[in-house]
Amino acid sequence: MNTRRCEECGEHLGARHAHNARYCSGRCRTAACRKRRAIPAELTSRPRWIRRTSRKVPLTVGGATASSTDPSTWSRYGDAARSTAGAGLGFVLDERDGLVCLDLDHCLDVDGTVAGWAQNVLDAVAGSTWVEVSAGGDGLHVWGHGRLPGGAGRRLRLGDGTVEVYATGRYIAVTGRTFGGTPQRLGDLQHVIDSLL
């Protein structure tokens, strides 16, 4: 008996669907894609958005050079998303609101397999916070709430990999490409930060 179900609506996938089909219809496929590209409201509600070049140079929505320490060069999410300047979006971190990002560099293989050192971080935050695929496609950004003692950022070795922890004075390139089934909300990352330091 066929027990496969649509990943979006839960309907049974019948004989008319390919054996590797994930969705029952184009509508469900589109809805799932939109969900995967949703950026949590904890980020989109803050006016700390910039544009960026493909080489990660920060830009204003008008295309001038922006700064991760000058709020006059930042914009609201809607304005940044509508802008065609540069190659993509970025979000500026500011320690006053306690948002942090763990940047797991070069942890994804071509087939999407996560390196063991990075999987340990993902296991520590499983189901509690939003994770996105980085702009390069081979890294992950783990977004959440926390404090980084001593300032802007740290680069830490973790097994065979590198974790960069950022809390202020930096911007992170945002793709909106949700990794796996992570929730569209930001969770508490303090226990992970403490374990890395």
Residue 132: both structure tokens together: 């996105």
C-alpha to C-alpha distance for 48 and 158, rounded to whole angstroms:
30
Domain boundaries of the chain, sorted by first residue: 1-36, 41-196
Q: Evaluate whether 146 touches 98 at the Cβ level (below 8 Å).
A: yes
Q: Residue 185 pLDDT > 60, yes or no?
A: yes
Distance between CA 45 and CA 77 in Å, rounded?
A: 7
Instruction: Give the tens place of pLDDT for each residue, 16-50.
Output: 776 777 778 888 776 665 555 589 999 999 999 99
| Verdict on whether the full-model pTM lies above 0.85 | no
| Tens digit of each residue's pLDDT (9 = 90 or more) over 152-179 | 788 888 888 989 999 999 999 999 999 9
